Amino acid sequence: MAQIHAPYGANTKKTILGRGASSKGRTCGKGNKGQNSRSGGNSAPGFEGGQMPLYRRVARRGFSNYKFKQDYQAVSLDVLSTNFDDGETVNLDALKDKGIVKGFKTQAKILGDGDLTKKLVIDGIKVSATASEKIKAAGGEIR
């Protein structure tokens, strides 16, 4: 029966740098002189040797709506039917109290996944078209 062993060259000793001539002595594989041969000698990311870096050369253009974007969290009808009782009002505060919607600036949108069997009053939350049909069919209302 053959013994399983690692192929030749797979297991090599770690080269310890800068410990005399027997390791990789003298320059330790860092070349001769210069900034990068020194300890701690490395330039910052984006540094181009004194030349104006690319991120400062390129003009910032246009308008970004990122600061003003609204995050909406999807809430399915299944989640509403399990967490709310018949005749209860569903608003953003109620969803946050029950831990369905998380986040300080997060809004909610009710989507029509699943079935709704309870009469719920939806107040001040966005509702998809299929969800609104199902809510009205169950006897609920949307304000």
For residues 20-55, one letter each, b for 16 or more C-beta atoms within 10 angstroms of the residue's C-beta and e for the rest, the string is eeeeeeeeeebeeeeeeeeeeeeeeeeeeeeeeeee
Tens-place pLDDT, residues 3-39: 899 999 999 988 888 888 877 778 888 888 888 888 8
Cα–Cα distance measured from residue 131 to residue 111, given in angstroms and rounded to the nearest whole number: 5
Tens-place pLDDT, residues 101-122: 998 889 999 999 999 989 999 9
What are 82's two structure tokens?
């399990």
Give the residue, 134 or 24, on which the prediction is more confident. 134
Tens-place pLDDT, residues 81-105: 999 999 999 999 999 999 999 988 8
What pTM did the predictor assign? 0.56
Q: 3-state secondary structure string, 36-88?
A: HHCCCCCCCCCCECCECCHHHHCCCCCCCCHHHCCCEEEEEHHHHHHHCCCCC
**What's the confidence (pLDDT) of residue 41?**
85
What is the CB neighbour count within 10 angstroms for residue 128? Answer: 15
**What's the confidence (pLDDT) of residue 110?**
95
Domains of the chain plus CATH, in order, are 16-61 (no CATH), 67-142 (3.100.10.10)
